[in-house]
A and B are shown apart, each in its own frame.
Chain A
Amino acid sequence: MHLSELSLFSQGILVSAALVLFTSFVMLAQARIQPLIYAFAWQGALLSITTALVALVSGHTHLYISALLTFGLKALLIPWMLYRLTRRLHIQYDVEIVAHPSLTLLGGAVLVVFCYYVALPIAQLSTLVTRNTIAVSMATVLLGMLLMISRRTAVAQVIGFMSIENGLFFAAVASTYGMPMIVELGVAFDVLVAAVLFGVFFFQIRTSIDSLDVDRLNRLSERGE
């Protein structure tokens, strides 16, 4: 089936899926803290646009609420909180030294291919659009993990964590028109509390090891002193 044979709606979803995936790669490659936060905010905005699009076409009115919620939380509030925290901690211009940046990106590409492979059995009962979106959302989750693994600062890890949540939300919207309202509200609440707690932890980590480099959190192990 050709892309042009799909309805405009499906094409729109595919485009936004591609863009979400693209922002994941942007985050993976971005070593500066502030642009990283912007990329994360863009991903949130794209998510909420997708959600609104799905709501428009499918007529599920509750999706408008979750689109608004996503926009407020993932595109505005959490990036703003992170931005403010980085300024208060004076790390907003920090550049992280990413080990093997090109290898990391290649690894990301491999992960995407792997996700399409895993999504194959699901595709049997599904349309082209959902097959793509499930694979893309799974890839967003895994890329978020890769981001967390390849980075050492606490801020980058938190952004990786939040982009995993983005991937999950995308999966819910694209494949099932969102979760029931009560679940979405609960998840949003959890994410918000998590964001606040992460802020608290930045300060706790900073006071305890005098840096936000989580690689230096290495006191606990099976060794006896």
Chain B
Amino acid sequence: MSPLYLVLWLPLAGGLLLALVPNYRIAGYINVTIAAATFGSSVWLAWNVLGTGPELSPGKLFYIDAFNVYLVALTAFVGLTTAIFSRPYMQHEVERGRVGPPRMRLYHSMYQGFLFAMLLALTTNNMGVLWVAMEAATLTTVLLVSLYRTPESVEAAWKYFILCGVGIAQALFGTVLLYFAAERRLGAQRNDTLLWSVLHNHATQLDPAVLAIAFVFLLVGYGTKVGLVPLHNWLPDAHSEGPTPMSAVLSGLLLNVALYALVRVKMLVDGSLHTALAGHLMMGFGLLSFLVASLFLHRQHDIKRMYSYSSIEHMGLMTFAFGIGGALATFAALLHMTVHSLTKSSIFVTVGHASQLAGTQRIEHIRGLIRTQPQVGWGLLIGTLAIAGFPPFGVFMSEFLVLNATMKSWPWLTLPLLLGLAIAFAGLFRHLQPMVYGTPPPGQTRVKANMLPVAIHLALVLWLGLSIPLFLSHWFEQATSLISGSLPL
């Protein structure tokens, strides 16, 4: 049995099983165990693909290549560390009375359901199933955003539901057009015309006019989920009002998966169009998101909202880099996807502890973290340093590579990029400084914090900044040559 099926069946079965476990303490442990098993099988899968190359499942429904296998491993890894963090954290939330045991059952079941939806979206070969899985990812998380049932969280969940639902409907229309174009050329009698592998092989034969329109719809659709400005309004709300483990996986994983879908589509459209239309559109939207989000960082009052805007900023940068195309930019974007999701999920974990400690998410009431609980304060400080792109960390590496690639192909665009980075840096640190160093309000006490996931993530990001391990760079190179058609460096 291929590890691929384990990767998919484990979270699905886990989701069903956890729906039946009434005790939330036991469910927390089961959740961690299943996530660990999923991660184990994803490593196994990655190992296979690394050795033997792309793998097409017998029914052609799944296709694993270098590009998605590393995202599968990353998704399973962050899923695991977040599950480890979520167990004591959510237990604490139950003790604080913010959520009751029945809703914890929903939470655990949906957590695994969400992981399943994302892994399905990553591994599937069928563009239609990709859409179904992306929609399922929304459906599984929407009730989690409103888990606390405060008016704010219900509002956030409604916005998330409606905006993402309508947005992703555009992607379905794009998929229909894709199918339409493929059927015209490849014949209506085949039933494999919606498979990505088939479409990619015949991309040059597809009608450019239809594909251009399809891409616009797909960009709007999946772009909504990536959080591209001006389709980003749901993102800060959903990320800030849901429980913190949800913010971590939404920011760290869901956005990546949506961007993955977009890049897959771009590969098809580029093959057919022979112009840079898709790339230019992605560059435009990416740069706009990057600049707007970095400005918005300054206006935040809620700590989770602030880091959500930072997610938009980084997703914008990645979209921009994928849009430039070319080997160097693609390599940088892939690296940035990895380091961003590691760093951002670790930040959200720390933020969760910080807001439990201060009893609020409002920035002006979170003060003196380092004095009250050094590991939380340092975790937040180092995490933010990493996400702002300070030198030894991996984010610096990838941002530097993006700048390099921009310098080569679009020299004058380096200016707004540098400006945006500086603005984002200032925006993050003006809020961070008093939160970490300020005087703690009287009576602020320590909370039980599990900083292990944070330490592991940040150590990995540091490692990626100092040297990229050989197997990983090999992966990235394979993925880069898949996407951009040439090898980096």
Contacts and interface: CB of A to CB of B under 8 A. Distances in A.
Contacts of B132: 183, 186-187, 189-190
B157 A201 contact: yes
Given A165-B169, A183-B132, A220-B156, A175 B194 contact: no
A205 B156 contact: no
B183 A176 contact: yes
Q: How large is the interface on A (under 10, 10 to 19, 20 to 34, 35 or more residues)?
A: 35 or more
B44 interface: no
Given A168-B172, A180-B126, A222-B299, A197 B143 contact: yes
Interface of B: 61, 126, 128-129, 131-132, 135-136, 139, 142-143, 146, 149-152, 154-159, 161-162, 165-166, 169-170, 172-173, 175-177, 179-180, 183-184, 188, 191, 194, 207, 209-210, 213, 236-237, 241, 296, 299-301, 362, 364
Nearest to A189: B132
A124 B210 CA distance: 10
Given A201-B154, A219-B152, A176 B176 contact: yes
Chain A contact residues, majority secondary structure: helix
B87 to A, nearest CB: 26
B159 A208 contact: no
A214 B172 contact: no
B213 A172 contact: no
A179 B126 CA distance: 11
A125 B209 contact: yes
Nearest to B208: A121
A204 B143 CA distance: 10
B179 to A, nearest CB: 5
Interface in A154-194: 154, 157, 161, 164-165, 167-168, 171-172, 175-177, 179-180, 182-183, 186-187, 189-190, 193-194
Given A180-B194, A220-B237, 16 more contacts: A122-B210, A125-B207, A137-B173, A171-B176, A172-B176, A177-B188, A179-B176, A186-B132, A197-B142, A204-B154, A208-B151, A208-B154, A217-B158, A219-B151, A222-B300, A223-B301
A148 interface: yes
B379 to A, nearest CB: 25
30 contacts: A121-B213, A154-B158, A164-B166, A167-B173, A168-B172, A168-B173, A171-B177, A175-B176, A177-B188, A179-B194, A180-B191, A182-B129, A183-B126, A183-B194, A186-B129, A187-B128, A187-B132, A187-B135, A187-B172, A189-B132, A190-B132, A190-B139, A194-B161, A204-B157, A207-B149, A219-B151, A220-B152, A220-B155, A223-B301, A224-B301
